[in-house]
Amino acid sequence: MTKPLTAHGTLYIVPTPIGNLEDITLRALRILKEVDLIAAEDTRHTRNLLTHFGITTPLISYYREKEAERSEEIILRLQEGKNIALVSDAGTPAISDPGAVVVRQIHDLGLTVVPLPGASALTTALSGSGVTSEGFLFLGFLPAKSGQRRKALAAVAACEYPVVFYESPHRIDTFLADALEILGERQAFWARELTKNFEDLQSGTLSDLLAKSNEGRNRGEFVVVICPGRKEEVKGQTLEELILWYRDNSDLSLKDVSRQLASDLGISRSQIYQQALTLWNR
């Protein structure tokens, strides 16, 4: 591999297969062979991948609990002129996986980062979902604690785009139950065991998917796409009528309603909030 003209090395962000090993790119294999070092989320997992392709590049661990410490070591080696590949257990590093910390620090120091395209559960699931939208919101894994998870779901209740989540097999039931309660019945999709022998793509309502998740033991991580709810026409002529409509027909908080009406009407948010306070619990 030709070293950059600068004295420092390069950090390559290398996606690895999310299941099927044939999905690795020729460029990714070349980089993994030619770099001086591979920083891996789990060295045991990555060593199996490297052995399969006959790659003997040295490994160091780079997992979330050690990000700060390992970032310092990676930067030091880059400054010494070493080229390093960053990989996660599956898919693209730094997207719901470790990596963003060291990448941010490398940018701040003016060192070189080269991201490679490749496998991603997010884009793979979306391409197979049949969901039609000009955009989407990706939130990755929500908090494991129910209260925090429900709060995060409530925050996207009014989102006009499909919202995409990652979820583990042992939490998919509670996640879907919370989503149904907080967001109401909606069209949804899940992709499980992507690119593997038991790949499973399911479309339906949130109720449908919740019922399927309860049918048996769930294996493999999920990508869940939840479509926007039906947008009802806001009814009301006066500010008071509009506030009361939102109170009775939406899941928005008092603060969110004030923000929405301020944007729609061009009125001070604080003025709306003060009037809403007197009506909200009436």
pLDDT means per 10 residues in the chain (282 residues)? Answer: 65 97 97 98 96 97 87 96 97 93 96 97 96 94 94 91 96 95 93 95 96 85 92 73 82 78 80 83 75
Per-residue pLDDT, 271 = 84
DSSP letters spanning 60-120: EE--GGGHHHHHHHHHHHHHTT--EEEE-SSB-TTSSSTTHHHHHHHHHTT-EEEEPP---
Per-residue pLDDT, 231 = 62
Per-residue pLDDT, 257 = 83
Q: Which residues fall within 8 angstroms of residue 274, CB to CB, at 6 or more apart?
A: none
Q: How far apart are CA 232 and CA 102, in angstroms?
A: 44
Residue 36 DSSP class: S
Per-residue pLDDT, 233 = 64
Query: 242 by DSSP, 3-state: which?
Result: helix
Please state the pTM of the whole predicted model. Answer: 0.79
> CB of 135 within 8 A of CB of 111?
no
Best CA proximity match to 35, nearest among 19, 20, 50, 52: 50
Q: How far apart are CA 233 and CA 140, in angstroms?
A: 31
Distance of CA 105 to the CA centre of its chain: 21
Per-residue pLDDT, 2 = 46
